Structure 1
Amino acid sequence: MNVPRPPLAGLQTPGFAHYAVAWSPFHTNRIALASAANFGLVGNGRLHFVTTGPGAGPQQGLKIEKQFDTQDALYDVAWSELHENQLATGSGDGSVKLWDVMLNDYPIRAWHEHTREVFSVDWSNIKKDTFASSSWDGSVKLWMPDRPRSVMTLQAHPSCVYQALFSPHQPDIIATCSTDGTMKIFDLRAPAYATGPAANAFTAPLTAAALTVPASGTEILSIDWNKYRPFVLASTGVDKMVKVWDCRMAQQSVPNAQAVGGTCEVQLPGHEYAVRKVQWNPHRAEVLASASYDMTCRVWNMAPGVPSHLMHIHDAHTEFVVGCSWSLYEEGVIASCGWDGRLNLFRV
């Protein structure tokens, strides 16, 4: 049973709604926030660099150490896996930017290859010099900070790609999700063009996916790889469901065709509106968190034999909750952020 508990700590950013939150992989007390004025519909953006206060644990409070202003909304942020002070962001103007928190005012690099909003960025924790971006233009691009242009482009979906994530188990595998209701897995070692009615071979031929999972009849807004079970992913979106998929059991219907399938292990109902973010616990293989437009962040436990999959409901936000991130160093602590401009830390 969920027992309401106050946040461990909270922080308000007047005038800016949050879109994404990420804990640093290097420091126990560093958090990044990607934010936007006017709920990201029009106006500028801001990257907040937040730290927990001195002392043990996040209970000491939160403080904005530095902030960077941008000309358009920021929709996602990812810490570098190679340099402790660097972060990548995705922006509403189609740009991808690299920042250094030790410097002031401007990004250290900016790329402008996407033609529409960049909605996700993700740094590979295996190939630590590489990160990916996904865009409403249907493409996924791979970047290296020292290169002036992207090193690879996947025409992943015929419509908006909400998220693209590197596998934490295999360096050349990327999963994507889209407005088309599918989740796809790509093998970067063997890029090829897709064929069939969904692929436009004249203007923007789609890249062939190693596996396509028809995960929903509506938009899929977020996915995440399980950190302990290879080829197990969670998905969520407009259908309000959190789903867990085993993608090892797919079969090809005809020889040489792209594989379609994936087994849905469990469906987790409970959210009242679309679910914007899902993330597996980095410490426990059976636990994940979800953030929803119903203004809650929920934590689920998939362990066999538990009486209820729902572990906890965090309902201290007053607007859409669109981001959540587990602390990598303190087990059971989550950061959540929302359109109310509030960053909350809570413990499960």
Structure 2
Amino acid sequence: MNPPAVLQTPGFAHYSLAWSPFFNSRLALASSANFGLVGNGRLHIVSLVPGPGGLPTLKLDKFFESQDGLYDLAWSEAHENHVVTASGDGSIRLWDVTLDNLAIGVWQEHTKEVFSIDWSNIQKDTFVSSSWDGTVKIWKPDRPRSILTLQAHQSCVYQALFSPHQPELISTCSTDGTLKIFDLRSPAYATGPSTNTFTNPLSAAVLTVPASASEVLTLDWNKYRPLVLASGSVDRMVKVWDCRMVKMGDSQVGGTCECSLPGHEYAVRKLQWSPHQADLLATASYDMTCRIWNTIPMGPQPPLRYIHDAHTEFVVGCAWSLYDEGLLATCSWDSRLNVLRP
């Protein structure tokens, strides 16, 4: 395998990355000074370009400064130059990457760190955020405040994601060891003239999955199998959950664990299903590796397919290219962005 393309951002530890849904060679990278504990943050816009000998290299196009660390980001599904970021000061900012260092939208409703953000690939004018304050909020970029608040968990919500199959479904994971699925069509979300979700957050999940005895740090929807999710947790386990037997609209506890994937030596910080193959999963861990798994192994072939161990600090992000099958990006607290083809 060729060595990975590498971009170094000195002084800023990475927290998350995302490929553009519009350009096959553009990435966005969220980072924080002092490992996100104190200080400012940066949003980096990066391009993958041909290099010497035909090998790709990474080019930093520009960066944007923020007053607090950035923990997550998502590209707009409706505008090719818009990126939304989640910040440690509880704010959410919308950036136009063609403009100078000034956010074009700012929202400040969360009362603690915003730890994840996700843009719906179906309802392309909608994104969702989750916070250490236990809430999940749904937003439209042209609205001055959130359009819906869910009291998803009683403790930190590490991630909230829209289903890529049904725009009304949102999955969450938390310090309480559960995955939850919320159905925005549920009658529990009906509001009257005297109620609103801004002051009365809603909390009825249609499914609660007891995924781990420890904190669940990350989850992802399978792109080909509706209601199949993967989770990664502090107990070092990666698990695949089948929730297809649950009738949406009922509040239930359940979900079937299809498989467990042991191997990481420390907590699993991020995972992502391949957008090209239904059984391929990438995971990033505090053990300084990114691993690739075949979740439906054929015959005697082991589920662990590849270990990327080029980082020297916690690996906190991994993302498959949306256009180029097999191309994977990883980012780490070592301030290195790697793009590789395992």
User: Same fold, TM exceeding 0.5?
Assistant: yes
2:202 paired with 1:209? no
Q: For the residues of structure 2 that align with 1:43 and 1:321, how far apart are their CA atoms?
A: 21
- Matched with 1:111 is 107
Matches of 1:237 and 1:31, distance apart in 2:
26
SS in 2 for 1:192: helix
- Alignment of 1:328 onto 2:328: no
Return 5+ residue gaps in structure 1 as ranges.
194-202
Indicate how the Cα distance of structure 1 residues 57 and 310 shifts in structure 2: closer, same or farther if over 3 A, else same.
farther
Matches of 1:215 and 1:155 in 2, distance apart? Answer: 19
Residues 158 and 206 in structure 1, CA contact (< 8 A), matched pair in contact too: no
Cα distance in structure 1, aligned partners of 2:3 and 2:107: 37
Q: Is the 8 A contact 2:116 2:131 kept in 1?
A: yes
Q: Which amino acid aligns with 1:98?
A: L
Cross-structure match for 1:343? 337
5+ long unaligned stretches in structure 2: 190-198
Aligned AA (1:139)? T
Aligned to 1:197: none
Q: Does 1:168 align with 2:178?
A: no
Q: How far 1:249 moved relative to its partner?
A: 2.5
Alignment of 1:211-230 (within 5 A): 211-230=207-226
- Map 1:22-41 to 2 at 5 A: 22-41=18-37
Q: Percent identity?
A: 69
Distance 1:56 1:23, change over 3 A: farther
Task: Indicate conservation of the 8 Å contact 1:90/1:118, yes or no.
Answer: yes
Going from structure 1 to structure 2, the CA distance change for 1:82 and 1:251 (only over 3 Å counts) comes to closer
In structure 1, the partner of 2:291 is 298
Q: Which residue of 2 aligns with 1:270?
A: 263
* Counterpart contact for 2:161–2:171, Cα < 8 Å: yes
1:182 aligns with 2:178: yes
Q: Which residue does the alignment assign to 1:157?
A: 153
Task: Tell me what 2:277 maps to.
Answer: 284
**Conserved in 2, the CA contact under 8 Å of 1:251 and 1:260?**
no
Task: Give the aligned partner of residue 75 of structure 2.
Answer: 79
One-letter code aligned to 2:307 = I
Aligned residue runs from structure 1 range 12-91, under 5 A: 12-54=8-50, 59-91=55-87
Structure 2: distance between partners of 1:7 and 1:73: 30
TM-score (norm 1): 0.92
Task: Give 2:6's match in structure 1, choosing from 1, 4, 10.
Answer: 10
Separation in 2, partners of 1:246, 1:216: 15
The letter of the residue matching 2:305 is M
Residue 200 of structure 1 corresponds to which residue in structure 2? none
Q: Would you say the 8 A contact 1:286–1:303 is kept in 2?
A: yes
Deviating above 6 A after TM superposition, structure 1's stretches of 4 or more consecutive aligned residues are 55-58
Q: Deviations over 1:229-287 (max 9, x none)?
A: 000000001010110000123489xxx97200000000000000001001000000000
Structure 1 residue 7 displacement after superposition: 3.3
Separation of aligned partners in 2, 1:322 and 1:57: 30
Q: State the AA in 2 paired with 1:260.
A: V
1:310 equivalenced with 2:304 (yes/no): yes
| C-alpha distance in 1 between matches for 2:117 and 2:163 | 14
Give 3-state SS (helix, strand or coil) of 1:61's partner.
Answer: strand
Distance 1:327 1:251 in 2: 33
- Helix, strand or coil: the match of 1:126? coil
Contact persistence 1:279–1:324 (CA under 8 A): yes
CA shift in 2, pair 1:251/1:328, >3 Å: closer
Provide the residue aligned with 2:195 in structure 1. Answer: none
Q: Secondary structure at the match of 2:188?
A: coil
Does the CA contact (< 8 Å) of 2:14 and 2:335 recur in 1?
yes
1:54 deviates by 4.3
